[in-house]
Amino acid sequence: MVQRIDVECKNESYPIFIGELPQKLEFEGSVLVVTNSKVAGIHLRTLLQCIYAKECFVCVLEDGEEYKNIQSVQRILETAFIHKLDRQSTMIAFGGGVVGDIVGFAAGIFMRGISFVQIPTTLLAQVDASIGGKTAINNKFGKNLIGLFHQPKAVYVNPFFLGTLSHREKSSGIAEIIKMAVMFDKDFFEWLSMQNLQGSSLLEAIMRAILIKKEVVVKDELERGVRMALNYGHTFGHVIEKETQYKQYLHGEAVSMGMIMANRLAVQLGYLSVDEEFRIQKILEKNDLPIYYKIPSMESFYQSLFLDKKNENHQIRFILPHNIGRFIPCTHLSKAEIMRTLEEFCDD
């Protein structure tokens, strides 16, 4: 059975369909499917069989966070121009969070913006990245620093695609599910703590995470308030990804280590108990997520925190758990307070 959840944003609403892809995905204009080499090898034929459009073209990108850059956007745009896409055309993002973010960005700037559809194939993209219209690419200064908000026309979440994910990819998506539970829903956290996420329990976790994500996006589409809580673990995690050249860790793995750092800061500031910190660590470990990043240089790590998009007036804004199930944004911390946390991740 296919379930439908509507995301009611200010200017447009769009549906998230959870379940099998429809047998016919119909489009009025031309379609450009953008995917990566890995997904293309496994699932592209299945998708192309469903698409009914005037014309359908395909652009295959390299797989990996290190390709989430301006060159990949350039490739998509060139393919779109070569095949004479116009404002009636639609781009389809078929892949994980990287593909979704790049395609959303390309669709948002092509001819000042055309429609795009998200068909996420990873757990991380299904529960988080494909919903809410955040698009971005990385540059040498940091992660997701170039981008825009461009909501998709529809999101198709088909759990069938998760069958071919590696264990690491699955764990990476679970990190984002845990993030949502810690920030917004203590009962969900308690429930997650008791599950081995697979089969029907994974499906339930996907559904609950999507409902949380939808609520947050509807309340705060442009991330002026509550949506910032979805960045728990990301302030630190993005620096970890940048320091390791986007090659060593999957996004969810970096977020997992980032949540551990955020928790330490929250404990030091009195927002989280040591017992709660331990419980969050346990659930990350249980899902085979890394929990310790050794900071090579504290000063350089500290400076990189200043490039986060949530910052204002050169103040780093951390999103910290305030017990489990609530959050607190935290600015105005002194360098000494932040360094005290970073020190715990530095062996020297």
Residues that bind ligand GLY (CB under 6 A): 128-129, 132, 134, 223, 227, 230
CB of 55 to ligand GLY, least distance (A): 32
Cβ count within 10 A of residue 45: 9
The whole-angstrom separation of Cα 252 and Cα 287 is: 11
Beta carbon nearer to ligand GLY, 143 or 227? 227
How far apart are the C-alpha atoms of 202 and 123, rounded to whole Å? 10
Provide, rounded to whole angstroms, the least separation between the CB of residue 216 and ligand GLY. 7
Q: How far is the CB of 132 from ligand GLY (least distance, A)?
A: 4
- Amino acid of residue 223: E
With CB atoms as reference, the residue minimizing the distance to ligand GLY is: 230
Min dist CB 295 to ligand GLY, Å, is 24
DSSP per residue, 176-235: HHHHHHHHH-HHHHHHHHT----HHHHHHHHHHHHHHHHHHHHH-TT-SSGGGGGGTTHH
Q: Are 233 and 262 in contact (CB under 8 A)?
A: yes
Closer of 217 and 338 to ligand GLY (Cβ): 217
Q: Which is nearer to ligand GLY, 252 or 290 (CB)?
A: 252
| 213, 136 Cβ separation under 8 angstroms | no
Minimum distance from residue 84 beta carbon to ligand GLY (Å):
33
Residues making up the chain, counted from first to last? 348
Between 21 and 230, name the residue whose CB sits nearer to ligand GLY.
230
Minimum CB–partner distance for residue 318 and ligand GLY (Å): 15
Answer positive or negative: Cα dihedral of 100, 101, 102, 105: positive
Q: Which is nearer to ligand GLY, 75 or 227 (CB)?
A: 227
Q: Give me the phi and psi of 71, to 5 degrees please.
A: -65, -40
Helices 251-269 and 335-343, interaxial angle, to 10°?
120
- Residue (227 or 264) nearer to ligand GLY, CB: 227
Q: Which is nearer to ligand GLY, 75 or 309 (CB)?
A: 309
For residues 103 and 177, give the distance between their C-alpha atoms in angstroms, rounded to a whole number.
23
Q: Is the CB of 223 or the CB of 308 nearer to ligand GLY?
A: 223
3-class secondary-structure state, position 46: helix
Closest CB 234 distance from ligand GLY, rounded Å: 7
Helix (H) or strand (E) holding 243: helix 234-243
Question: Which DSSP state fits 65?
Answer: G
Least separation, in Å, of the C-beta of 226 and ligand GLY?
Answer: 10
